[in-house]
Structure 1
């Protein structure tokens, strides 16, 4: 092949990139296109996709919250060991502003658990640049 795919494969890939009628150029792709159109119009498929999307978002949000709670546990331990905000920032790569805000919550409300601390802060615990 030497980097040149067969014409049928190239046509299929073109159709897969843009599943529109204009890219239907042979009988196999026409049958595939009919199945795609039927699936797109099936209300059950749309509903299943929406449920899947909602479940995925819910799982992602739960995972994010668990990660934030772990970060607060780590920060709580470092604050107890008298690490400075700058040292904690250097170790964790978290912004000093986030660490200060969490430290203030921990000092003001030592009885709070991590979920209460998380609810009491305004800044995102894990900044966008550190998210996967």
Structure 2
């Protein structure tokens, strides 16, 4: 069990995701990952935004929390700097399938395999998501 943090970057009714092709499957994931030693959920979410998307985020708002092989917390980022798609994390060097940051219109989520499913469900229901 490992605690994980994820980051929700929303802009113009779109969300930043990672497009994955692995093992003959194509799917999308919310940027995020496991907490490192001594790291808070918020710190992990900010680090993952930098590593996976190439952006620096400021204020975070907790959007969703659930248990699944440890605690999972997903945060909505307020303002950010940088351009989505310039991440340099180890995911890009693993050689394990493709790993492509991109924007998806929230209306397209019905037809996409997006993980974790709890986040997809929240996004489709409108939840506490807001677009500044």
TM-score interval w.r.t. the shorter chain?
under 0.3
More contact order relative to length (CA 8 Å, sep ≥ 6): 2
TM-score, structure 2 normalization: 0.25
**Which of the two has greater strand per residue?**
2
TM-score, structure 1 normalization: 0.25
**Which of the two has greater helix per residue?**
1
